[in-house]
Structure 1
Amino acid sequence: MTAKRPFIGTSWKMNKTRAEAAAFCATVAASRLADCEAAQLFVIPPFTALVEVAGALAGTKVLVGAQNAHWADAGAWTGEISPLQVKDAGATLVEIGHSERRTFFNETDQAVALKTAAVVRHGLAALVCIGDTREEYEAGETDAALRRQTEAALSKVEWQEDTRVIFAYEPVWSIGEGGTPADPAFADEKQAAVKAVIEAAIGRPLPVLYGGSVNPENCVALATRPHIDGLFIGRSAWDAAGYLGIVRQVIDAMA
């Protein structure tokens, strides 16, 4: 059995100026971890820094992503960015359906499905975020919520040999300041359930990452669970040293 090669990455959300992004990338690019084979690193900056970050990390094995993309290639969509523009900026990955997009910008399962299909159609990897709200969690509806979101995200994808879709389970009650980290056993159980939904829907496995208050104290306990294929980190990885520290911890634990 081959060793697991976890994805370990971070989205900066609406943070970092271009100068701050450049400083982060300089630290990461100078690290031996930027070219490691033991994990797949990725960074998702805001659109304003996307070109610079893609350029700064171009000589490394770190993937660079965008935080969103529209489903149309072009058109009268003021304020939106198309998958073609994301690709032109140097990104190879697009984050789709984060709970903040769903909650505050009214993104529906249908919108997530359209975006996922559009992104992979242009050869980009889709990183689809799914998660249960606190209300769904407390009502025992986590599995139903994850099934609905997962099946919807896959519903319009036209599968090719090189189509890349990655899921990230991020409990909404676990994200951000004041978020409650999920128990690693609970997270692993839910990841296993999502994987079963994926297999039933498309007949092939896809990576499922965990995100939600990942930090230096819980990263190893989460990443070493059998059904967790990597970590999607928030504020604990916004400092380059903090990010690399988590990567090193996980790699060492898996060695």
Structure 2
Amino acid sequence: MPRQFFVGGNFKMNPVSQEQKRALVKALNEADIDPSVEVVIAPPSIYLLPLKDLLRKEIKVSAQNCYFKANGAFTGEISPAQLVDAEIPYVILGHSERRTLFHETSELVAQKTKSALEAGLSVILCVGETLEERESGKTAQVVEAQLKPVVAAVSEQDWAKIVVAYEPVWAIGTGKVATSAQAQQAHADTRKFLAQAVSSAVAENTRIIYGGSVTAANCKELSTQPDVDGFLVGGASLKPEFVQIINSKRA
């Protein structure tokens, strides 16, 4: 079976007002969206519940992060159990901003991933290299190092609920974007690693999506690559062009 195309929108710490939120919801609810694409948006946590109730049912919502404990004295954190209770189906884990700004290690990301899956969540698992690592030819090595703790922590069956988001750090929010050839190579290498580290079935079925300055201008070419199964979109997910990105596979 072909892998279902997946487009996620990571709003990060936007929108900053109720008015902006309502405008985004209206635009998404009225848009002509390809029904064959799985669409997931990740707003700030304060907007998760209202957006889940206001958005058309074809569009799912995701948390941008969660902790690995089910409950307890962890001020400011959200647990996987709370997200499941709130009927939030997805969580983004391992985003480069969490790794760099908040010093999350690959081992912590793996621990969070295991807890999220055990609670019943699906995970958008982010990996990617810095510009220095890319220029040193270490992209595949870096991605594998980020994935290995997850491989060790979860079962083969768990991978059915993981979407891997390859996001080169040098392309996030910079306006730079990996060429379609660069994206395809990184995705193919990641799929090869999953085949060796987990199984050929997991490698074949796991969706590997691209993130890093995806826009309406570059999404069409990227979407034609055989191992690019969709996108995780940052800034453009807050703009009208997000619909064009969702529909990038349409003829």
Supply the distance in 1 between the matched residues of 2:109 and 2:130 (Cα, whole angstroms): 17
Quick one: structure 1 residues 218 and 41, their matched pair in 2 at CA, closer, same or farther if it must change by over 3 Å? same
CA contact (8 A) 1:214 1:233 kept: yes
For residues 158-187 of structure 1, the C-alpha deviation after alignment (integer angstroms, 9 at most, x for no partner) is: 4447840110000000001x3410011011
Tell me which residue corresponds to 1:8: 7
- Match for residue 153 of structure 2 among 133, 140, 156: 156
Q: Structure 2: state its 5+ residue gaps.
A: none
For residues 103-145 of structure 1, the C-alpha deviation after alignment (integer angstroms, 9 at most, x for no partner) is: 0100001110001101111111110000001111111111110
Tell me which residue corresponds to 1:235: 235
**Mapped pair 1:134 → 2:131:** yes
Tell me which residue corresponds to 2:98: 101
TM-score (norm 1): 0.91
Tell me which residue corresponds to 2:39: 41
**Percent identical residues:** 33
CA contact (8 A) 2:71 2:79 kept: yes
Higher relative contact order (CA 8 A, sep 6+): 2
Over the aligned positions, Cα root-mean-square deviation in angstroms equals 1.7
Tell me which residue corresponds to 1:174: 171
Supply the distance in 1 between the matched residues of 2:77 and 2:3 (Cα, whole angstroms): 36
- For the residue of structure 2 that corresponds to 1:155, the secondary structure is helix
**Mapped pair 1:218 → 2:218:** yes
TM-score (norm 2): 0.92
Supply the distance in 1 between the matched residues of 2:103 and 2:2 (Cα, whole angstroms): 39
Tell me which residue corresponds to 1:78: 75
For residues 22-47 of structure 1, the C-alpha deviation after alignment (integer angstroms, 9 at most, x for no partner) is: 321222123342xx432111101010
Supply the distance in 2 between the matched residues of 1:151 and 1:162 (Cα, whole angstroms): 13
- For the residue of structure 2 that corresponds to 1:132, the secondary structure is coil
Tell me which residue corresponds to 1:208: 208
Q: Structure 1: state its 5+ residue gaps.
A: none
Supply the distance in 2 between the matched residues of 1:142 and 1:110 (Cα, whole angstroms): 19
Letter in 1 for 2:136: A
Deviation at 1:3, TM superposition (A): 5.3
Deviation at 1:4, TM superposition (A): 5.0
CA contact (8 A) 1:55 1:90 kept: no
